[in-house]
């Protein structure tokens, strides 16, 4: 029986030892389950993961900086385009006022009702063209200059 008890004890010890694995985590294992090599391996894995995360963070920061620079350039472009558009609209209004002044002159100097009626038609055209925001300011300016040329021609005929 002693031999059987020894064998049973050895089998139990063997079973317990084979069930134990070494670990690098000091919270697991115990006195015989902890391995310094596994602990170093675990630290290396954590350092590698931290390095990958830092590299990812660095890439994301670079991307964020690039996007911020792009947004700033877009904002500057938008401000510049807005200012240019405002200047173009001001020039268009000045041209419209000049054309309307010439129309008033043509209407007041008209020797016939037909020419006065034609001047009023020019006024409607000039106001309509200036209000057509579907056209660019350059297109509206060009059309107003065409009307201005017709009015100048009519005024020249009145003088001669």
Domains of the chain, by residue range, sit at 34-159
Least confident of 21-25, 30-34, 65-69, 139-143: 21-25
56-98, pLDDT tens digit by residue? 999 999 999 999 999 999 999 999 999 999 999 999 999 999 9
- Per-residue pLDDT at 124 exceeds 80: yes
What's the whole-number average pLDDT of the chain? 88
Complete DSSP assignment for 91-126: HHHHHHHHHHHHHHHHHHH-SSHHHHHHHHHHHHHH
In degrees to the nearest 10, what's the CA dihedral of 79, 81, 86, 91?
150
Neighbours of 33 (CB within 10 A): 14
The three-class DSSP label of residue 23 is strand
- Per-residue pLDDT at 151 exceeds 60: yes
């Amino acid at each position: 029986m002693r031999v059987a008890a020894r064998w049973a004890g050895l089998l139990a010890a063997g079973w317990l030892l084979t069930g134990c694995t070494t670990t690098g985590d000091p919270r697991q294992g115990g006195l015989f389950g902890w391995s310094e090599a596994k602990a170093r391996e675990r630290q290396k894995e954590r350092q590698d993961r931290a390095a990958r995360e830092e590299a990812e963070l660095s890439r994301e920061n670079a991307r964020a900086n690039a996007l911020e620079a792009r947004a700033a350039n877009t904002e500057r472009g938008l401000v510049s385009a807005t200012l240019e558009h405002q200047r173009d609209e001001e020039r268009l209004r000045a041209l419209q006022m000049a054309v309307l002044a010439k129309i008033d002159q043509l209407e007041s100097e008209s020797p016939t009702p037909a020419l006065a009626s034609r001047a009023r038609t020019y006024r409607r055209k000039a106001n309509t063209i200036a209000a057509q925001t579907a056209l660019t300011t350059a297109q509206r300016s060009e059309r107003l200059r065409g009307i201005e040329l017709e009015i100048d021609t009519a005024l020249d005929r009145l003088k001669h």
